[in-house]
Structure 1
Amino acid sequence: MDDALAVFRAHGDTWGEAAALSTRAKPAIGRGDLAGLRRDAERALRLFAELGDEWGRLEAARALTHRAEITGDHAEAERLVRQALPLAEDLGMWSEVSFRLSALGRIALLTGDLARARELHERARRLAVDRSAKAAQEFAEIGLGLVARRAGDLAAAEAHLRAPLEWLRGVGGTPGIALVMAQLGYIAEERGDAATALARHREAYEAARSLGDPRAIALALEGPAGAYSPAGEHAHAARLLGAAAAAREGVGAPLPSAERGDVDRAAARCRAALGADGFAAEFARGNADRQITVFRT
């Protein structure tokens, strides 16, 4: 994309420049390069708007929405989605409409409106099924699982999260697998089944490692911490939390407060067992350890 961008600029091809910038912004998410993502996507959005290309505006806005959600700027994320939704509807891009409805559902979940979150994800799922848009259906199904889990309905959460797993494995949907298995691990933890939780988190960790996405790796470290802490491995759990925090801080994306429930639960157990000073010491050890052993043999 760097080479393509240079060629388009040399030839004064504005549309090509916008497309290259928008495309280059997408893998920046996986690298945790939020500054580069914002720079490229905002420039692409301006160029596409000047050209009157609504499809291009959708593409550029998607990356900016991800960035806003990652940084916990829910108001900005909602603004971007609400701007994009009518564009997708006008273009008849129904899979994109489904994705944007799910994105609004995700924002509602993070801001505490579970009823609205459930309704939006269900609308997104129905639309995706009607249009045979499997990727959008998977996205909505996972969203319904997250909503059910936040509401405390673990059985419904597991059913929704398991629904897309076979399809994800068949298409090599590694980011989705990492997220789903981490969530299934948390469900097992909440049920008091530490062994199953660790097995699920191990699969999530392997998927996250293959991606190399610092945020996915952080989630895959936080999950085992939640499973080890009720099993009495409080020092190890605290170190895993420290390592996860370092991974997030390294890319300028600390965990937003709306997403801290699982981490705070594990940290509270560790503090109760180790004391505030003991927890802080083990957390700091993990924060400094770039080669931490995640799973006990």
Structure 2
Amino acid sequence: MQTYVCGDLKASRRDGEESLDLFHQAGDRWGQLQATAVLGRLAEIEGDYPQAAHLHREGLRIAEELGLWTDASMRWSELGRITLLTGNYARAEELHERGRRLAVEQGDKPAEEFAEIGLALGARRQGRLDRAESYLRRWLEWNRQFDAEYGAALILAELGFVAELRRDAKTALALHLEGLAAARDTGDPRAIALALEGLAGARALAGHPARAARLLGAASAARASAGAPLPAAESGDVNRITAALQAALGEAGFEAEFEQGTALDPDTDAELLNA
């Protein structure tokens, strides 16, 4: 699991598949549940939503048969994530809400957080910014109690996008800079990329299109380094920002700045903070 959290997706897949095979051989259903959770998340990252849903449904079946209700809560919410990415917002909300209620019944805060962050993701995609922010702010404070940088990085990115969509460039920039610091602490290239994409939106809104295009280039390089390009279903923010930058710079100008950004080191390059 640690390799997954740190962004080593190849090692996570190798370990997950080997573990699932061994747990099947041993008849260890709890182990099968844990392995399917990791493999389901990896399928989601790769954009293979049918496989992700299949794995999470299998995990849900095992969790419910074993009476592991906190695990079941997470699987309901994982299915909510997949449904959200396939564009069925109403059904995604139902699944996340089912996961949330079960988490609350079991007193499981991490599972409750996962469900409510999913509700926030869906709300923002539908333009319900106040609702999204109310969920996100609650869990940002909770994560800060434990120095949980991985969770904070995602929440700060989402809050930054909320500010950008409200046309508040100053707040968006501050949130995404804080999110980049948290993302770098995780060591996960995908978390770093998300923060850089958010910074690009904030810089574009503030009237710095060349800087923003370089940030998108650096984000693309970070995702490539993890072997996990952004799936089409998750590219809405990048597409929106890219369109604005192409309008400002022209397609050739955008491509030139973007290419320059791909040469920056997304983990350490100080230029990204000033870009």
The TM-score with structure 1 as length reference comes to 0.89
Displacement of 1:67 = 0.8
CA distance in 2, matches of 1:281, 1:235: 9
Question: Counterpart of 1:263 in 2: which secondary structure?
Answer: helix
Partner residue of 1:48 out of 13, 18, 23: 23
- Look up the match of 1:277: 252
Partner residue of 2:104 out of 122, 129, 141: 129
- Per-residue displacement from partner, 1:106-125 (whole Å, max 9, x unpaired)? 00100000001001111111
- Look up the match of 2:177: 202
* CA contact 1:226–1:237 (8 Å) conserved in 2: yes
- Look up the match of 1:264: 239
Where do 4+ consecutive residues of structure 1 move more than 6 Å? none
The alignment status of 1:166 with 2:141, answered yes or no, reads yes
Which of 284-293 and 152-161 deviates more? 284-293
CA distance in 1, matches of 2:68, 2:230: 32
* CA contact 2:7–2:187 (8 Å) conserved in 1: no
- Per-residue displacement from partner, 1:14-39 (whole Å, max 9, x unpaired)? xxxxxxxxxxxx12223432222111
- Look up the match of 1:141: 116
* CA contact 1:286–1:292 (8 Å) conserved in 2: no
The alignment status of 1:112 with 2:90, answered yes or no, reads no
- Per-residue displacement from partner, 1:154-183 (whole Å, max 9, x unpaired)? 011111111222211112221110000100
* CA contact 1:145–1:160 (8 Å) conserved in 2: yes
CA distance in 2, matches of 1:194, 1:265: 15
The alignment status of 1:294 with 2:272, answered yes or no, reads yes
- Per-residue displacement from partner, 1:52-82 (whole Å, max 9, x unpaired)? 1110001111111111011111111001001
* CA contact 1:34–1:251 (8 Å) conserved in 2: yes
CA distance in 1, matches of 2:165, 2:92: 22
Q: Name the % identity.
A: 55
CA distance in 2, matches of 1:185, 1:33: 26
CA distance in 1, matches of 2:121, 2:25: 38
CA distance in 2, matches of 1:33, 1:209: 15
* CA contact 1:222–1:244 (8 Å) conserved in 2: yes
Number of aligned residue pairs: give it: 272
- Look up the match of 1:94: 69
Question: Counterpart of 2:229 in 1: which secondary structure?
Answer: coil
Structure 2 counterpart of 1:252, one-letter code: G
Displacement of 1:296 = 3.2
The alignment status of 1:190 with 2:165, answered yes or no, reads yes
Partner residue of 1:214 out of 189, 195, 210: 189
Displacement of 1:292 = 5.3
| Structure 1 unaligned blocks of 5 or more | 1-25
| Structure 2 unaligned blocks of 5 or more | none
* CA contact 1:243–1:292 (8 Å) conserved in 2: no
CA distance in 1, matches of 2:264, 2:180: 17
- Per-residue displacement from partner, 1:233-271 (whole Å, max 9, x unpaired)? 000000000000000011110000000011111111110
CA distance in 2, matches of 1:258, 1:198: 25
